[in-house]
Amino acid sequence: MHEEILSSLNNPRQLEKLYWTNKTTFKAAFNALYPSLQDNPLAEGWYQRLNYRPDDLSWGTPSERLFVVVASGLAALLAQLPKLLSLDQELFYSRNVGFIVFPILIAYFVWKNKISWKTAAWLGGLTLFAVGFINFLPKNPTSNTLILSCIHLPLWLWSLLGFTFGGGGVKGEVNWLGFLRYNGELAVVTALLLIAGGLTTALTINLFALSGLKIETFYFNYIVISGLAAVPIVATFLTQAQPALVNKVAPVIANLFSPVALVMLVVYLTATVFSGKDPYHDRDFLLLYNALLIGVMALIFFSVAEATPNSKKPVQILILFLLSAVTVVVNSIALSAVLFRIAEWGITPNRAAVLGANVLMLSHLLYVGSQLFRTMTRKNDLSLVGRSMTFFLPVYSLWSAIVVFLFPLLFGFK
């Protein structure tokens, strides 16, 4: 390796090839040769590349750390409001769970991205309007429109968070692809924090139990609920302050689970043929189809969002294309089942909501799948697939707003 390095000093391409052939051997050989090569600018660049070690991990600025501490405390306080104010817990959490975290995260990115006060005021006004609207809807546990509003409200708040994360631009400047990447990284860090919190909880409860003290009720009612409210905020801070923690782990997870999801989906579709069940007459089965569809779509989007133009190998792009194609089949079955149920039993709020969501997802998948196919056949690059994913995100936001705010009025709060 020593001779090969010396003979390639004026050939950067060959040096790069040697490096990728055997990184460990190349580094050892180059460091041994470096004292005699210090006057060579190319050698100096390679030495710094091979031996650079970043400074201590950044934990953000003092003001950012203070913001996260205060925000986490505020989220914990909001989560405890039913107990502090003797409110109906089921009523409070079903309508307001999204307001415990999303407004705080929106405020964090408003502050971090230095968004104008006018845009911040609009975001605050929309959030307050949503708080008032959802909490003044008639109290009717059997109301389908109420349930739909409660389910879709976090999705609408999520879209506001995406708008804020991307810089609050109103003329196409929002970084939606970066927002999808942030969501994937947030999921990874949140999972790690929850695992650590679960282990701490088990250890704490058992230690107190050895002393004869039963703290389970108190611990879960106050510590666990408060911690769950604070986890997304702390996880967001970690993804922003220390991106190196997850920017290599997340793509690996996406690459590992994409082929697994493809095999699972094909096996599942095959099994349903022989199971005797179908989404046309079995409502729960249709809901399962849609839940599966959302999960696989999220995996496809996350995989592409984490990719760089040169990070995906042809086989990985092929897997994503096949996964999107199979998901289109699942979506088409679900959509036809919804149309069948509407034709047989008429339109209801639930069927209208599922119909709109399935039409949107099918359109989105077809668009993404076509771009993946073009990438696979080398007619465009992976960046266009990313754009195809983000193109529909504002449409999802609009649809969720329609379900949250208009469905109760259109269907008479039924």
* Rounded percentage of the chain residues whose pLDDT exceeds 70: 92
Q: How confident is the model at residue 184 (pLDDT cuts 50, 70, 90)?
A: confident
Of 3 and 146, more confident: 146
pLDDT at 214 over 70: yes
Predicted local distance difference test score (pLDDT) of residue 219: 93
List own/partner pairs for 349-355 with CB under 8 A and 24 or more apart.
Answer: 349/144, 349/145, 349/148, 349/407, 349/411, 349/414, 350/144, 350/148, 352/407, 352/411, 353/148, 353/152, 353/403, 353/407, 354/286, 354/290
pLDDT at 1 over 80: no
pLDDT at 309 over 60: no
Whether the Cβ atoms of residue 339 and residue 355 lie closer than 8 Å to each other = yes
Of 2 and 81, more confident: 81
Q: How confident is the model at residue 169 (pLDDT cuts 50, 70, 90)?
A: low
Predicted local distance difference test score (pLDDT) of residue 203: 93
- Mean per-residue pLDDT, 405-411: 93
CA distance linking residue 313 with residue 310, whole number of Å: 8
Q: How confident is the model at residue 306 (pLDDT cuts 50, 70, 90)?
A: low
- Mean per-residue pLDDT, 125-137: 95
Residue 183 identity (one-letter amino acid): N
Residue 99 identity (one-letter amino acid): F
pLDDT at 128 over 60: yes
Q: How confident is the model at residue 269 (pLDDT cuts 50, 70, 90)?
A: confident
Q: How confident is the model at residue 283 (pLDDT cuts 50, 70, 90)?
A: confident
CA distance linking residue 297 with residue 300, whole number of Å: 5
Q: Which residues are CB-neighbours of 242 under 8 A, at least 6 positions away?
A: 57, 58, 59
Q: What is the mean pLDDT of the chain?
A: 85
Predicted local distance difference test score (pLDDT) of residue 312: 60
Predicted local distance difference test score (pLDDT) of residue 174: 63
Q: How confident is the model at residue 308 (pLDDT cuts 50, 70, 90)?
A: low
Give 81: exposed, middle or buried? Use CB within 10 Å, 0-12, 13-18, 19+.
middle
Of 52 and 257, more confident: 257
Please, how many CA atoms are within 13 Å of residue 408, restricted to the half-sphere of its CB?
A: 23
Residue reference for tokens 């709060």? 413
CA distance linking residue 116 with residue 167, whole number of Å: 10
- pTM passes above 0.75: yes
Whether the Cβ atoms of residue 275 and residue 285 lie closer than 8 Å to each other = no
Residue 45 identity (one-letter amino acid): G
Of 385 and 197, more confident: 197
Q: Find the farthest-apart pair of alpha carbons in the chain and give their distance in angstroms, rounded.
A: 84
Segments in 276-406 forming alpha helices (H): 283-305, 314-345, 349-376, 382-391, 393-401
CA distance linking residue 84 with residue 94, whole number of Å: 17
Predicted local distance difference test score (pLDDT) of residue 44: 82
Of 95 and 62, more confident: 95
Q: How confident is the model at residue 47 (pLDDT cuts 50, 70, 90)?
A: confident
Segments in 211-313 forming alpha helices (H): 216-218, 225-241, 249-275, 283-305
CA distance linking residue 71 with residue 101, whole number of Å: 9
Predicted local distance difference test score (pLDDT) of residue 78: 95
Composition of the chain by helix, strand, coil, percent to 5:
80, 0, 20
- Mean per-residue pLDDT, 362-368: 89
Please, how many CA atoms are within 13 Å of residue 344, restricted to the half-sphere of its CB?
A: 8
Name which of 242, 238, 354, 343 is nearest 289 in CA terms: 354
Q: Tell me: the pLDDT tens digits for 96-105?
A: 999 999 999 9
Q: How confident is the model at residue 161 (pLDDT cuts 50, 70, 90)?
A: very high
pLDDT at 228 over 90: yes
Predicted local distance difference test score (pLDDT) of residue 55: 53
CA distance linking residue 239 with residue 242, whole number of Å: 6
Whether the Cβ atoms of residue 146 and residue 140 lie closer than 8 Å to each other = yes
- Mean per-residue pLDDT, 303-308: 66
pLDDT at 337 over 70: yes
Residue reference for tokens 């194609």? 325
Name which of 100, 122, 99, 98 is nearest 110 in CA terms: 122
Ramachandran angles phi, psi of 73, nearest 5°: -65, -40
Q: How confident is the model at residue 80 (pLDDT cuts 50, 70, 90)?
A: very high
Lowest mean pLDDT, pick from 116-120, 136-140, 276-280, 409-413: 276-280
Ramachandran angles phi, psi of 256, nearest 5°: -70, -40
How many helices (H) and strands (E) would you count in the chain?
A: 19, 0
Residue 184 identity (one-letter amino acid): G
Evaluated on CA atoms 312, 313, 317, 322, the torsion sign reads negative
